[in-house]
């Protein structure tokens, strides 16, 4: 009986700490999507590089030169007649040809909220930085949604848990 009470207390405590983590998060809600992100991350909705938003992590020290980030790109596919399989094939080709030393590490189909998406993890060099990316692709109607976590390659494992929590909070609103 005492063990059951102890396990119950541990379960409640661990769940309360999980809920406590998300209360320190903000939400972006738009007509066609929503996403949650930590309050200490900076939101940029300027449209920089064609994005709908970029979420920048805080720098970790004075020596830190790169803000890990999550961004969303929404592409209009009108007239291209692409499904998710074709979009993934084109995107993977671009990773290999447009990113210096672009290397695909993982590529797989995932089902979430009854909507298929494709997850690709890849690495490559941009400017002075060796980067590692995790991208999720959705094709809905005539739009492609590309949600990307971008990290310095050496920092990817440090940001993976929080980054995937942000990515996994993304919800497409079916209109």
From 6, 95, 172, select the one nearest 87 (Cα to Cα). 95
Assigned domain for 60 exists: yes
Residue 109 belongs to domain with CATH number:
3.40.1000.10
Kindly state whether residue 126 falls inside one of the protein's structural domains: yes
Whether 81 is covered by a domain: the verdict is yes
User: Given this model, what pLDDT does residue 146 score?
Assistant: 98
Rounded distance, CA 134 to CA 173, Å?
22
Residues with Cβ within 8 Å of 109's Cβ and at least 6 positions away in sequence, in order, are: 116, 117, 118, 119
Overall domain count for the chain:
1
Which pLDDT value is given to residue 108?
97
Residue 55: per-residue pLDDT: 98
From first to last of the 175 residues of the chain, give the pLDDT tens digit: 444 434 333 433 334 444 444 689 999 999 999 999 999 999 999 999 999 999 999 999 999 999 999 999 999 999 999 999 999 999 999 999 999 999 999 999 998 766 789 999 999 999 999 999 999 999 999 999 999 999 999 999 999 999 999 999 999 987 5
9 within a domain of the structure (yes/no): no
Locate all alpha helices (DSSP H) within the chain, ordered by sequence. 2-23, 84-98, 156-169
Residue 16 corresponds to which tokens in the numbers above? 């309360």
Can you give the pLDDT at residue 113? 64
Residue 45 DSSP label: -
Residue 37: domain span: 24-172
């Amino acid at each position: 009986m005492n063990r059951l009470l102890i396990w119950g207390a541990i379960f409640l405590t661990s769940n309360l700490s999980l809920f406590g983590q998300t209360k320190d998060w903000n939400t972006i809600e738009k007509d066609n999507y929503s996403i949650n992100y930590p309050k200490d991350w900076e939101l940029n909705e300027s449209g920089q590089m064609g994005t709908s938003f970029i979420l920048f992590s805080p720098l970790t020290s004075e020596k830190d030169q790169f803000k890990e980030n999550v961004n969303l790109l929404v592409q209009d596919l009108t007239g291209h007649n692409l499904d998710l399989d074709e979009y993934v094939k084109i995107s993977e080709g671009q990773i290999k040809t447009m990113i210096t030393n672009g290397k695909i590490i993982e590529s797989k189909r995932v089902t979430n909220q009854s909507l298929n998406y494709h997850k690709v993890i890849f690495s490559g060099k941009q400017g002075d930085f060796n980067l590692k990316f995790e991208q999720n692709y959705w094709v809905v109607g005539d739009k492609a949604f590309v949600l990307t976590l971008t990290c310095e390659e050496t920092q990817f494992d440090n940001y993976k848990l929080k980054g995937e929590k942000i990515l996994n909070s993304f919800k497409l609103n079916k209109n």
